[in-house]
Structure 1
Amino acid sequence: MADALPRPSTKAATPFVTTESLAGAVRGPGGQDVVTGPGGRERILFHGWSPDGRGRVMYLADLVFEDGRPVVRGDRAR
């Protein structure tokens, strides 16, 4: 991962992490933070509604880059 964002940067046309982008696995995701996990693998932490809808919980998902753009692997959110 780069030490700094490339400049100039532009805001994405669509939100980065949404219920739809996570294939419905997490409702109401937010508060994302990227971390480097074991073996140098990029991961993303974020919160969302618990499966029973009673509270917010923390989720972890894989983060990969395709054509220079970050992509969250929602099928692995847990």
Structure 2
Amino acid sequence: MRLVSLQSKDVINVYDGRKIGYIADIEVDWCQRCIQALIVEKINFFHFLCFFKEPPVIVIPIQCVVSLKGDVILVNIEHD
């Protein structure tokens, strides 16, 4: 699976059923050749109004990913 195809999927938290956002990037461990974490850009109303600030992101360890199938990525995390 390519990063581009991951970026088009919604990230949903199964803990509370809310949409977290979209994948902005991934962390890769090049020595072990595996993905360490997904970096998700949080969705909020003020995101479109803030041109000069970086968007808030959340780093989700790969162990918290439940499913990558279908149109969504399901994760199980507790966040604010």
TM-score if structure 2 supplies the norm length?
A: 0.40
**Structure of greater relative contact order (alpha carbons < 8 Å, 6+ residues apart):** 2
Question: Higher helix proportion, which one?
Answer: 2
